[in-house]
């Protein structure tokens, strides 16, 4: 009986010491203030939040996301063409046609230009 109480006391003491050690190790200090501050996209969070944002960059990133998703949709195409699924081949051809028309439209509108040129707008 005494051994059971001693084991329980020893286990509780070990748990308390581990919790205390974890708290001491994980406590924040004043020197970590810079690490704890938010950092996003190279903008300093202490300045104004109304910084100018490039709409051109936003449109280019949306176009990149669309093309990134299309690659994920086209990955099973070679396997399905190998298996000979005619319905899938027709769907892939329609999908590629829509993507080609969309790419040509974006190119015609000048959205795929990496450098802003004042003379093209």
| 23-32, 48-57, 106-115 — most confident range | 106-115
Which pLDDT tens digit goes with each residue over 89-120?
788 889 889 888 988 888 888 777 766 555 55
Is residue 9 scored above 80 in pLDDT?
yes
Average pLDDT, the chain: 76
Strand segments (E) across the chain: none
Within 10 A of 111 (CB to CB), how many other CB atoms are there? 13
Helix axes 86-109 and 55-74, enclosed angle (nearest 10): 160
Pairwise pLDDT comparison (95 vs 34), residue with the higher score: 95
CA 90 to chain centre: 33
pLDDT digits (tens, 9 = 90+) for 73-87: 888 788 777 777 788
Segment 15-41 shows an average pLDDT of 73
Residue 64 has pLDDT above 60, yes or no: yes
Domain definitions of the chain by residue range? 2-27, 60-109
Q: Residue 37 and residue 95: Cα distance in Å, rounded? A: 45
Question: What's the rounded Cα separation, in Å, for the pair 65 and 48?
Answer: 29
Q: Identify the pLDDT of residue 116.
A: 55
Contact status, residue 89 vs residue 80, Cβ threshold 8 Å: yes
pLDDT at position 18 is: 93
28 pLDDT exceeds 70?
no
- Choose among 111, 25, 115: nearest CA to 62: 111
Q: Is the pLDDT of residue 42 over 80?
A: no
CA distances from 121 to 2, 53, 114 (A): 88, 19, 14
**15 has pLDDT over 80:** yes
What is the C-alpha to C-alpha distance for residues 31 and 21, in angstroms, rounded to an integer? 20
């Amino acid at each position: 009986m005494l051994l059971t109480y001693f084991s329980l006391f020893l286990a509780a003491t070990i748990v308390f010491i581990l919790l205390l050690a974890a708290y001491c190790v994980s406590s924040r200090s004043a020197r970590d203030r810079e690490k704890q501050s938010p950092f996003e996209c190279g903008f300093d969070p202490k300045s104004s939040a109304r910084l100018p944002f490039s709409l051109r960059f936003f449109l280019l990133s949306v176009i990149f996301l669309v093309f990134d998703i299309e690659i994920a949709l086209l990955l099973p195409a070679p396997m399905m063409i190998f298996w000979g699924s005619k319905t899938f081949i027709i769907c892939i051809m329609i999908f590629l046609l829509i993507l080609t028309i969309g790419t040509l439209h974006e190119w015609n509108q000048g959205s795929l230009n990496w450098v802003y040129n004042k003379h093209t707008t």
